[in-house]
């Protein structure tokens, strides 16, 4: 009423002043309405963003087990000592006042003194805790300040991975230390150390707050987590890793925690069962390592009737646990050794590595000759100790490692006579030049055995190949005058190329996994199987339907081999091991009928030196040695393929390794029938 009375006043200055005050009050009311009503939601969102931190909670990775449910990759509980910075504010203030002690200081000096006071408090508490746990530790100053200024609302890890004895000490002695707590986190562990390193793969620390495999929100912070990089851990990381959870932490205006709430609990990853038999895998690795500590080689053990991979060995390897616990300098040097190249999966041919097969290719040559009717196994072929035919092939000759004499099929097979097989590749009728026919037959059957192709493809449910695999190189079918070599160049076929092809020399390259498929096809009567590594994935996401799906046995092709061809090859492979003059005699195991074939391929390796006159690169001759086999011959249950780089020969280097593996398998079968203990870990 007072205001209206002033408006009715006859004095002009009073009325003007009253109107001015009314306008100011109106503007003030409008501003308050805009701030509290019109823009209220925006300010509420901004305040919420400033006071809430979203934290990603990692899920527990799924287990990987072998065919008997023995652990290959599991999780263990890791106990870490954490320090909650927000609970130490009274100590920070008290110590700061003590250091200042009434001194007059500028604002920057006060900030620096507060910074030093905080570090000293936390450093002293860290030393107290670490001394009581028997592990004296000096707190890293940069690590502390980085945590304080960027994420003080989360606990800071002070001492990671306590031993059981240290956990007991903590529970007993650390209860009086302020701001200190014990956290329990699941962490990946590989109980068999470096066993199956290339198959299982390894993990890498992943700390990027904004990276995640699913439709999760952008996290301000994530607790320690790991991502699969290679092998099964890498290919199936999305299944094994599970679904991350999340919690929110409410902080005050200086970023100290006031409360927290878990609003999405993490879901554990799905378990995975493999066809691998841990005991056979360990025995195969021990057998290959018996050749020497720096052996570069591979072993594949496969069930010839199902394609199940019982062992997949590539040496040298590495301990997958080291990628979690950390490396020493010596271990980093070992991991980066270019000559040993521990990253290569030599069994599957990862990284494009593949090898000339040598005489083990004579299995395919034998099948081709017998199935096409080019070879009579009873007819003898004279071997003078070399192959030469100046009339038909004046530019090609080859020395034979088999002694001179007459050779029928079985003797030529077990003594690995090159002359015998070249004879049927180039002159099947003994009179005319027919190497074009030999080329056609060998190319056709090599492709039917799927050489030059990956074996672990087209798994059901659109699952990727469980491991990285190479193709090797094998020419395509066709009776063309020119072929495309492994470098993509057009090259004219010659009789010498066909001669080299039939004995596994020349440009063709294969992987041990492909040779296991080939040998299994000979053992089982002609079925070219797809090797099976993953037998079960307990995941609805993997197949889009029911859980616990079993991956079935897959047959790539059925060669429909003649029974007499299979029977003759089985007898020849048995003779290669059982007969005294067989090249694979060193693989003999009493009580177990083993059929095998040795192979030794020559390769040229650059020496790193050059001819001082011509400047040409200098090479040295090296060997790739093989032994392919199956047992027992009368009822095949195991296919064993051994490959060693820089070996002496297939008979002296690889056959003894295969013999060790078969003896371990024989003893293991006996123990399992008795229900006794398994093979001891190496």
Buried b (16+ CB within 10 A) or exposed e, 188-223: bebebebbbbbbbbbbeebeeeeebeeebeebbebb
What topology does CATH give the domain 278-336+344-674? Answer: Beta-lactamase (3.40.710)
Q: Which residue has the tokens 């707050």?
A: 209
Q: Which residue has the tokens 């320090």?
A: 83
Which run of H or of E encompasses 199? helix 197-200
Are the CB atoms for 93 and 86 separated by under 8 Å? no
- What value does the mean pLDDT take over residues 164-185? 83
Are the CB atoms for 668 and 676 separated by under 8 Å? no
pLDDT band of 149, cuts 50, 70, 90: confident
Query: Which CATH superfamily is 54-84+146-274 part of?
Result: Penicillin-binding protein 2a (Domain 2) (3.90.1310.10)
pLDDT band of 173, cuts 50, 70, 90: confident
Cα 663–Cα 666–Cα 668 angle in degrees, nearest 5: 105
Please give the residue that has the higher pLDDT: either 547 or 238.
Answer: 238
Tokens of 169: 């000490």
Task: Give residue 367's pLDDT.
Answer: 96
Alpha carbon distance 154, 82 (integer Å): 9
Task: Give residue 63's pLDDT.
Answer: 93
250-259, 464-473, 595-604: range with highest mean pLDDT: 595-604
Backbone angles phi and psi of 425, in degrees to 5: -75, -35
pTM (2 d.p.): 0.82
DSSP state of 210: T
Residue 641 has pLDDT above 90, yes or no: yes
Among candidate residues 394, 357, 399, 417, the one with its CA nearest the CA of residue 572: 417
CB neighbours of 499 closer than 8 A, spacing ≥ 6? 387, 393, 396, 398, 422, 425, 426, 435
Tokens of 236: 């199936």
- What value does the mean pLDDT take over residues 1-6? 57
Tokens of 428: 């099947």
Q: Positive or negative CA dihedral for 272, 273, 279, 280?
A: negative
Per-residue 3-state assignment (H helix, E strand, C coil) for 79-129: EEEEECHHHHHHHHHHHHHHHHCCCCCCHHHHHHHHHHHHHHHHHHHHHHH
Alpha carbon distance 312, 456 (integer Å): 13
90-94, 429-433, 663-667: range with highest mean pLDDT: 663-667
pLDDT band of 654, cuts 50, 70, 90: very high
What pLDDT digit, counting tens, does each position of 426-477 carry? 876 554 556 788 888 999 999 999 999 988 864 555 456 677 788 899 988 7
Task: List the domain boundaries for the chain.
Answer: 54-84+146-274, 278-336+344-674
């Amino acid at each position: 009423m007072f205001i209206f009375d002033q408006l009715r006043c006859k004095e002009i200055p009073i009325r003007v002043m009253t109107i001015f005050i009314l306008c100011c009050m109106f503007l003030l009311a409008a501003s308050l309405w805009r701030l509290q009503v019109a823009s209220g939601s925006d300010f509420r969102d901004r305040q919420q963003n400033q006071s809430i931190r979203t934290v990603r909670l990692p899920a527990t990775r799924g287990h990987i087990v072998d065919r008997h449910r023995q652990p290959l990759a599991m999780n263990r509980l890791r106990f870490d000592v954490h320090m909650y910075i927000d609970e130490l504010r009274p100590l920070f203030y008290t110590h700061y006042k003590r250091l200042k002690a009434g001194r007059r200081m500028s604002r920057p000096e006060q900030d620096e003194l507060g910074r030093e006071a905080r570090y000293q408090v936390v450093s002293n508490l860290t030393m107290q805790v670490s001394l009581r746990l028997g592990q004296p530790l000096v707190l890293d100053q940069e690590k502390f300040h980085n945590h304080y200024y960027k994420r003080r609302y989360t606990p800071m890890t002070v001492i990671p991975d306590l031993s059981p004895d240290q956990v007991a000490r903590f529970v007993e002695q650390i209860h009086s230390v302020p701001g200190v707590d014990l956290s329990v986190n699941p962490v990946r562990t590989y109980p068999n150390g470096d066993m199956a390193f290339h198959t299982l793969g390894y993990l890498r620390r992943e700390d990027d707050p904004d990276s995640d495999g699913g439709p999760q929100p952008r996290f301000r912070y994530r607790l320690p987590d790991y991502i699969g990089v290679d092998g099964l851990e890498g290919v199936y990381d999305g299944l094994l890793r599970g679904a991350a959870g999340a919690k929110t932490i409410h902080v005050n205006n200086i970023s100290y925690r006031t409360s927290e709430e878990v609003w999405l609990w993490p879901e554990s990853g799905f378990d995975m069962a493999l066809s691998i038999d841990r005991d056979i895998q360990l025995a195969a690795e021990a057998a290959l390592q018996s050749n020497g500590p720096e052996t570069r080689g591979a072993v594949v053990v496969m069930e010839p009737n199902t394609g199940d991979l019982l062992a997949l060995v590539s040496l040298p390897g590495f301990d997958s646990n080291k990628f979690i616990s950390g490396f020493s300098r010596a271990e980093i040097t070992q991991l980066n050794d270019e000559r040993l190249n521990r990253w290569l999966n030599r069994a599957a041919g990862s990284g494009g590595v593949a090898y000339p097969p040598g005489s083990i290719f004579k299995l395919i040559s034998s099948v081709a000759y017998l199935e096409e009717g080019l070879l009579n196994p009873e007819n003898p072929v004279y071997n003078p100790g070399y192959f030469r035919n100046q009339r038909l092939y004046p530019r090609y000759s080859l020395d034979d490692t088999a002694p001179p004499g007459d050779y029928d099929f079985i003797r030529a097979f077990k003594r690995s006579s090159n002359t015998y097989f070249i004879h049927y590749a180039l002159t099947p009728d003994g009179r005319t030049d027919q190497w074009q026919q030999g080329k056609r037959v060998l190319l056709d059957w090599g492709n039917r055995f799927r050489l030059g192709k990956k074996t672990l493809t087209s798994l059901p449910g659109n699952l990727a190949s469980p491991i990285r695999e190479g193709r090797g190189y094998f020419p395509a079918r066709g009776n063309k005058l020119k072929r495309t070599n492994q470098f993509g160049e057009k090259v004219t076929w010659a009789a010498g190329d066909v001669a080299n092809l039939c004995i596994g020399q020349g440009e063709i390259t294969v992987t041990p996994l492909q040779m296991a498929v080939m040998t299994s096809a000979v053992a089982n009567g002609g079925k070219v199987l797809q090797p099976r590594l993953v037998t079960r994935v307990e995941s609805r996401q993997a197949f889009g339907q029911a859980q616990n799906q079993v991956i079935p046995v897959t047959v790539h092709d059925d060669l429909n081999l003649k029974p007499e061809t299979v029977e003759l090859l089985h007898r020849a492979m048995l003779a290669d091991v059982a007969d005294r003059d067989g090249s694979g005699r060193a693989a003999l195991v009493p009580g177990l009928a083993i059929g095998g074939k040795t192979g030794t391929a020559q390769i040229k390796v650059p020496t790193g030196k050059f001819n001082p006159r011509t400047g040409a690169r200098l090479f040295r001759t090296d060997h790739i040695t093989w032994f392919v086999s199956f047992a027992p011959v009368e009822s095949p249950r195991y296919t064993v393929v051994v490959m060693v780089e820089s070996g002496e020969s297939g008979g002296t280097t690889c056959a003894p390794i295969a013999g060790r593996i078969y003896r371990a398998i024989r003893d293991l079968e006996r123990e399992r029938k008795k229900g006794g203990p398994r093979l001891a870990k190496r």
